[in-house]
Amino acid sequence: MVAEGHAGASTALAAPSSLSQVINNLRNVVVGLLVGLATLFLTVGGVRYILAGGDPGEVEAAKKTLRYAALGYGVAVLAPLLVSILKGIVGA
């Protein structure tokens, strides 16, 4: 029952028009997540490096975190290539 003066809200989402559009939307979401996580890792690694205070174990852990951030950015940059390969496999 809808109260007087209130319109019913529709929860229907727009349907994608093709498989290609679904793949592109998925790519955009994945790239956004990868960049966000890589930025988080970059920040954490930088802070760990600054706060290491010369401790070799902490410096190495910070460097490892920074490497993971670089790997995340690399995968995000390669995402369009991976999507084109996926499109070729599924024929979209």
Tell me: the pLDDT tens digits for 5-42? Answer: 555 555 656 677 787 788 788 888 888 998 999 999 99
Confirm if 83 and 29 have CB atoms less than 8 A apart: no
- Which pLDDT value is given to residue 36? 93
pLDDT band at 81 (very low <50, low <70, confident <90, very high): confident
pTM score, whole prediction: 0.68
Q: Please compute the mean of the pLDDT values over residues 44-49 and round it to a whole number.
A: 94
Q: What's the gap between Cα 85 and its chain centre?
A: 19
Count other Cβ atoms within 10 Å, centred on residue 4. Answer: 4
Rounded to whole angstroms, the Cα distance separating 55 from 90 reads 50
Q: What is the rounded distance in angstroms from the CA atom of residue 58 to the CA atom of residue 43?
A: 15
* CA atoms within a 13 Å half-sphere pointing along the CA-CB vector of 70: 7
Give me the helices (H) in the chain, please: 19-51, 56-90
CA distance 56 to 74: 27
